[in-house]
Homo-oligomer: A and B are copies of this chain.
């Protein structure tokens, strides 16, 4: 089952890169919440190709059309269907490479899985374009969370070998997150940001691509959200993050680095101060036993370099079962990371809201 997700809040995504359109049905939203369409539009724009020097020159308008579940400016409680028409496809580009299995893409696995019946144009259903409806759904989830002062924000932690600073795991606050999100290139250290952009431009000139890591924080989440074992916060957020094309790693708190600490260092010690219980460090990323402990939720998401590159590559031509050389034409992002921040935040918002409704019911929201 590829496209349905959720326990309390169900998403059903659909569409292909070069078909009529893409979209999502969201079931389980509470009735009566007002949708802030401006906010949704802003979030959609964060995903859209921006600065032409570092992103694709394709124009994707991504205008969303709410088909159902929305009446008199409010969610009706019935399923919300959001459609985004495809308008700027150049499908013919793909006919010539129909049988050429682009390395790093899902051309080959899709061909095998779907017995050759998959829509091969532009990655079809595997396209990163499918993250646009996820951002739509995530923007609604973020609005709902925001009413409870829960803020989700990210910065680019690294591009290739260039590293930004990291969040302060114990003290990161909503203001800091809201400010960094507003940046055209969201890094903590703008000097490093310039280096990153230069590296991306260089990669583009080289007909190559770069990957990177996104660090995300969720602040003001009450303690007690998440479930032991199969619905741990880590399980559910990681499930969603790994559904984003290009993600190859996810870690919470200190993640892989916590394996190099001793227990006496890794354990976040609780203390009580004016009636509030906190921890002095936050190596566990705000989660114990799968459940939030009231500290910021922190996680890193690793994105591989964009597989679409202009450089000549070897691969197989399935029409002849031959090894060939080819190069990808077309307009591609030399680095997807800057556009992926909002996608990471969106799917995390969805996963988190699902767990919160699981705990608190609809009444918490309205």
Contacts and interface: CB of A to CB of B under 8 A. Distances in A.
A27 interface: yes
Contacts of A125: 68-69, 76, 78-79, 228
Interface in A1-35: 1-5, 7-8, 10-16, 19-23, 25, 27-28, 31-32
Nearest to A281: B103
B12 A1 contact: no
A40 interface: no
Given A32-B115, A302-B251, A305-B262, A126 B361 contact: no
A267 interface: yes
A292 B109 contact: yes
A154 interface: no
A323 B277 CA distance: 10
Contact of A118 (B77, B130, B255): B77
Interface string A198-239: 000001001011111100000000011111111110111011
A313 interface: yes
A150 interface: no
B305 A104 contact: no
A323 B232 CA distance: 28
A30 to B, nearest CB: 9
A112 B32 contact: no
A291 B103 contact: no
A208 B303 contact: no
Contact of A260 (B80, B109, B160, B264): B160
B118 A259 contact: no
B208 A262 contact: yes
Given A3-B25, A110-B228, 4 more contacts: A13-B79, A77-B114, A104-B267, A158-B260
A68 B14 contact: yes
Interface stretch (A140-148, A170-178, A185-193, A240-248): A240-248
A210 B260 CA distance: 7
B21 A130 contact: no
A264 B212 CA distance: 15
B272 A316 contact: yes
Nearest to A307: B267
Interface in A340-366: 357-364, 366
Interface string A318-336: 0001110000000000000
A243 B263 contact: no
B263 A258 contact: no
B14 A10 contact: no
A309 B106 contact: no
A275 B320 CA distance: 11
Task: Specify which of A261, A262, A311 lies most central, judged by the most chain B CB atoms within 10 Å of its CB.
Answer: A262
12 contacts: A3-B78, A7-B7, A15-B67, A16-B78, A21-B68, A76-B124, A77-B117, A235-B242, A262-B305, A263-B307, A263-B308, A280-B314
A63 B266 CA distance: 33
A12 B20 contact: no
A323 B278 CA distance: 11
Interface string A96-127: 00000101111111101111111100001110
A54 interface: no
Given A109-B291, A113-B291, A227 B263 contact: no
Given A31-B115, A302-B258, A359-B362, A266 B19 contact: no
